[in-house]
Amino acid sequence: MRERLHDYLAARPAGATAEELLDLVFVGRGRDPDFGDRFLAALLGADPRFRFEPVEQRWRVRSCDGLVRPLAEVEFVVVDLETTGGASGQDAIIEIGAARVVGGRLTERFASLVRPGRPIQPFVSRLTGITDAMVAGAPRLAEVLPRFVEFAGTAVLVAHNAAFDVGHLRAAGAPLDAPVLCTIRLARRLLPESRRRSLDAVAVTLGIACFRRHRALPDAEIAAEILCVFLERLQERGIERLDQLLDFQRSAADGRPFIVHVPRARLDEVPAVPGVYHLLGRDGRLLYVGKARRLRERLAAYFTNARGHSPRVLDLIRHVHDFRVTETGSELAASLLEARRIRELKPPYNRQLRGLPRVGFLKLGVRSEFPRLWATERVGADRATYLGPFASLAAAERALAVLGRVFKLRTCPGRLYPAPEATPCLSGQVGACTAPCAARVDEAAYRAQVDACLAFFAGGDERPLDWLGARRDVLAAELRFEAAAQVQRDIELLESLRRRQQGLNWVVTRQNFAVLLPAETRESAVLYVVLGGRLAVEARLAATADLVSAAALVRERFARYQDAPLTRADVDGTAIMAAWLRDRGAQDGVILPLDGPDAIVDRLDELAVTVRDLGMAGVGPLPPIDALGERP
């Protein structure tokens, strides 16, 4: 534990507070406010490598004392390399350029072409203008490198993407022990609003001219000017010492160092397939469960110092020492497995229900004489008409505003008791609703409005779009362009809704269907069956017997699941299935409607063919239908 804290402080020259160090040791907080100070004093106080700074209330390692220097007294050497375009090594560098910065100003320069030991790749010559002929008479790196090392001396090395330039220099054998600054890292912290951080992009943001780009010395001079601007901005933030600056460039969005304990080589072993990942602590304890469409990309995103990491995620990353993954074969399977493991294992960094997709629907009721249209987060086992799913309840409410206005349906809650003396709400007063509450429309006429809405989504009525199109054209002719643009957005929304409804109507309305997806291997597939709007059957199919057993289970559960209300345990699967339906691509699985308890039996041959198409060898000829027992 002491070595762990030493490594942490060695990477943070300005030191760390007791709170930071305790967060590295303990996942949870104790109730004794003085325990942390006593614990660290006992652990580190007698070790000569550590010291406590009472004024700043920070622990430091003594090996970093030499970095406690005012920035005004620090020399920086900004370096840029051009290379052949291949792997790093002694024969890759073709040009070195550097500029010294002292007191916020550029002073001396260093520049030299280098004769490499390999040909320059064509794209490098096009980019830099440096050809094999230009470097044929240049000195070898063995002559140039000592001159650059002498020029750099003990100055702090700076580069735009320092990992590249300093990495090439060290691979070539340069003895570089000075601290290293990266202007890209500084740009992440000082220019958080900028998404692009290339040398050109940062220079343009700061108003720095870019001439003779992609040659070593001009690029080094541009990076040096960027450094000078950054030093001024850092001073405004109260960063006045080198140790503070080194800490700042390594820090994450919460101001603390971005520490990764997982070796990069472990990430290279992760496949780029759907699955679930477990993030583990130092002692192997489970900290977090998540899912991903591509496991490798998702895990790599965790261990990259990105501005989008929340304080909670950054705290999680600092505690992660290892991970394990489970391939699932599909994103839907990953989402369902993630929810199940969170519910069963209760990892400390998973919030309750966090990560569940948020979906929304529009519901047109049928029980009232004057059906209303409203937004809801779940479908029910009733005869209502549902539109969706939408990305969120808010998205459903935006569509509600348009549909209510176009078809003049009521969106107000509660039962109606029509009376001529009633005062309608604002929608009724402005004509966005026919106001059945004030008896301004009878039941038959209002039912015609409902039928018009249903006919539009069935694809048999273009009049609403024609009316909106004419309205848009009138507004545009009157030069009311903002209003015309809003009407155009309404048209696009209705067209999108109708396409979605025609594609998913049988799924959302009936709420009884089967989904067949490939598993993580070609030896099996996964069958999901939704009955009455909830996930009722999940079965792995590796042989014909599995398919027959799953069909029997569907028949047995079909009637029981139709009218039963959703339970708390059903919520996860229902939300995940709805989101999958919303986002699925044309090639993402096969969906089959189930009109009754025997539909799965009637489609066994179709399912068997689909399973065989997925590559399963274990599905042979199906047994007679009688093998499933008598039909009810």
Q: Which is it for the CA torsion 253, 254, 259, 262, positive or negative? A: negative
Cα 585 to chain center, whole Å?
19
Catalytic residue list: 214
What are the tokens at 63? 């090996």
Beta bridge partners of 53: 58
Q: What is the pLDDT of residue 380?
A: 62
Give the containing element (helix H, strand E) for 592: strand 590-593
Q: What is the pLDDT of residue 25?
A: 74
Q: What is the DSSP secondary structure assignment for residue 203, as one 8-state letter?
A: H
At residue 626 the predicted structure's pLDDT band, cuts being 50, 70 and 90, is very low
Q: What angle do CA 583, 585, 589 make, to 5 degrees?
A: 105
CATH of domain 264-345: 3.40.1440.10
Instruction: Convert 492-527 to b/e letters by CB count within 10 Å (16 or more is b).
Output: ebbeebbebbeebeebbeebbbbbbbbbbeeebbbb
- Does 230 score more than 80 pLDDT? yes
Side chain identity, residue 548: V
At residue 325 the predicted structure's pLDDT band, cuts being 50, 70 and 90, is very high
- Does 521 score more than 50 pLDDT? yes
At residue 315 the predicted structure's pLDDT band, cuts being 50, 70 and 90, is confident
Report in angstroms the alpha-carbon separations of 299 from 69, 97, 272, 302, 546.
38, 36, 10, 5, 34
Residue among 594, 604, 567, 602 at smallest CA distance from 512: 594
Instruction: Report the C-alpha gap between 275 and 519 in whole angstroms.
Output: 11
CATH of domain 71-250: 3.30.420.10
Q: What is the pLDDT of residue 617?
A: 46
Instruction: Report the C-alpha gap between 564 and 569 in whole angstroms.
Output: 13
- Does 618 score more than 60 pLDDT? no
Residue 78, SS3 per DSSP: strand
Q: What is the pLDDT of residue 27?
A: 59
> By the 8 A CB rule, do 306 and 499 touch?
no
Rounded (10°) angle between helices 18-25 and 35-44: 80
**pLDDT tens by residue, 69-121:** 999 999 999 999 999 987 776 678 999 999 999 998 999 999 999 999 889 99
Q: What is the pLDDT of residue 517?
A: 85
Average pLDDT, the chain: 83
Beta bridge partners of 78: 99, 158
Residue 489, SS3 per DSSP: helix
Q: What is the pLDDT of residue 503?
A: 56
Side chain identity, residue 40: L
Report in angstroms the alpha-carbon separations of 608 from 46, 592, 621.
71, 13, 8
Between residues 36 and 159, which one has the greater pLDDT?
A: 159
What are the tokens at 413? 């809650």
- Does 631 score more than 60 pLDDT? no
- Does 352 score more than 50 pLDDT? no
**pLDDT tens by residue, 545-590:** 888 888 889 888 888 887 666 565 666 676 677 778 777 776 677 8
360-364 and 93-102 beta bridge pairing: unpaired
**pLDDT tens by residue, 29-79:** 555 667 788 888 888 988 999 999 888 888 999 988 889 999 999 999 999
Residue 416, SS3 per DSSP: coil
Q: What is the pLDDT of residue 509?
A: 56
Q: What is the pLDDT of residue 622?
A: 44
> By the 8 A CB rule, do 581 and 510 touch?
no
Side chain identity, residue 77: V
Side chain identity, residue 103: G
Cis, peptide link before residue 13, omega less than 30° from 0: no
Report in angstroms the alpha-carbon separations of 350 from 29, 343, 354, 418.
17, 10, 7, 50
What is the per-residue DSSP string for 87-111? --STT-EEEEEEEEEETTEEEEEEE
Instruction: Give percent of the chain with pLDDT exceeding 70.
Output: 88
At residue 240 the predicted structure's pLDDT band, cuts being 50, 70 and 90, is very high
Between residues 279 and 467, which one has the greater pLDDT?
A: 279
At residue 518 the predicted structure's pLDDT band, cuts being 50, 70 and 90, is confident
Global model pTM greater than 0.85 = no
**pLDDT tens by residue, 452-496:** 887 887 777 788 888 889 989 999 999 898 889 988 988 888 888
Report in angstroms the alpha-carbon separations of 557 from 389, 533, 568, 620.
25, 13, 19, 26
Q: What are phi and psi of 470, to 5 degrees?
A: -65, -40
Between residues 229 and 451, which one has the greater pLDDT?
A: 229
Rounded (10°) angle between helices 443-457 and 481-510: 90
Instruction: Report the C-alpha gap between 421 and 435 in whole angstroms.
Output: 12
Q: How buried is 87 (Cβ within 10 angstroms: 0-12 exposed, 13-18 middle, 19+ buried)?
A: exposed
Residue among 197, 203, 233 at smallest CA distance from 221: 203
Q: How far apart are the first and last CA of the chain?
A: 67
- Does 623 score more than 60 pLDDT? no
